[in-house]
Chain A
Amino acid sequence: MTWHTFLSFGTMGHRHLFFVYAGVWLVQAGYLGWIALNWQKTGRN
């Protein structure tokens, strides 16, 4: 498989493959970002 086929949305299979990989990174990074944001907000007294 190449970048070209990974990013080709011609078939349902290729679309769903991309959605899973992009979605997993997005959700995991989003959760990490939420923790980091709250870490900054909470601060140390």
Chain B
Amino acid sequence: MARSPVFRNIGWLWFLASIAVLVVGFRQAIFLVPTESTMGDVQRIFYYHLPHAILGLIFPYVNFLASLSYLFWRRRDPLKALTADALAVASAEVTVLYVGITLASGMIWGKPAWGIWWAWDARLTSELLLWLLYVSYLLVRRFSLSGQTGVLAAIISVFAAIDVPIVFMSIRWWRTQHPAPVFGDGGSLDPSFYPAVLWNLAGWAMWGVFILIFRFALERRRQLNEQEKALKAIEASLEIPQ
């Protein structure tokens, strides 16, 4: 990210723009949109819960595509494969973050709204499974002693991506404690709530892209440092007099 001042300046501008949009989103969600008639003020949790839920179903596909790229390039061009691997680990972490926030905010909302913290319905269970799959992905990357860790992780990522459409469709396929879709045909969301939803969705998307790129840049920096160390070690071993 800091490879050139241009990248650094764009990064800072993007970060500040994200904060500005999130401040507008916060103001819309807490102070400007009307109070929902059934649940009251606690419904305002929705404006943070929904953006994280939507983005938590998009970042897994970044991980999926990066993992497929890694599998494709690992023998053909290992340097490209390393770049794809860095994007895969960054997107897996951001997925765990966004899906984790979705689960936690949903539970904290569920207690005052439903009277229960958790229900083992299709939406909540498939979302929990998604989170556990990406936690497993990160644990494999962290602790596997196999020389094929990258390949194992990429295969887990492909399986994990299968859960995403199941999470998305769960409230359409099955009757659940979780509410039905609020957007689109038959959606129950009043248009007066749209500004809070859209500003927060834009803000958390911009923030997510920022942390994804920053984490990717960190992983690339680590990889390049390791490559440099390995090269120095090889050079040093060649200099030893026989």
Contacts and interface: CB of A to CB of B under 8 A. Distances in A.
Tier of interface size on chain A: 20 to 34
B104 interface: yes
Interface in B105-127: 105, 108-109, 111-112
Given A5-B41, A14-B41, A45-B228, A35 B215 contact: yes
Tier of interface size on chain B: 35 or more
A24 B241 CA distance: 59
A24 B218 CA distance: 23
B222 A42 contact: yes
A16 B207 CA distance: 23
Interface stretch (B43-51, B67-75, B147-155, B171-179): B43-51
Consensus secondary structure, chain A interface: helix
Consensus secondary structure, chain B interface: helix
Nearest to A42: B221
Contacts of A43: 225
Interface string A32-45: 10011011001111
A36 B2 CA distance: 12
Given A42-B218, A45-B228, A20 B108 contact: yes
Interface centre among B52, B108, B217 (most CB of A within 10 A): B108
A1 B218 contact: no
A19 B30 CA distance: 13
Closest 7 CB pairs of A and B: A13-B42, A13-B112, A12-B112, A16-B108, A20-B45, A20-B105, A45-B228
Interface in B194-215: 207, 211, 214-215
A1 B225 contact: no
Contacts of A27: 97, 100-101
A6 B41 CA distance: 9
A28 B44 contact: no
B58 to A, nearest CB: 16
Given A20-B49, A38-B218, A39-B221, A6 B108 contact: no
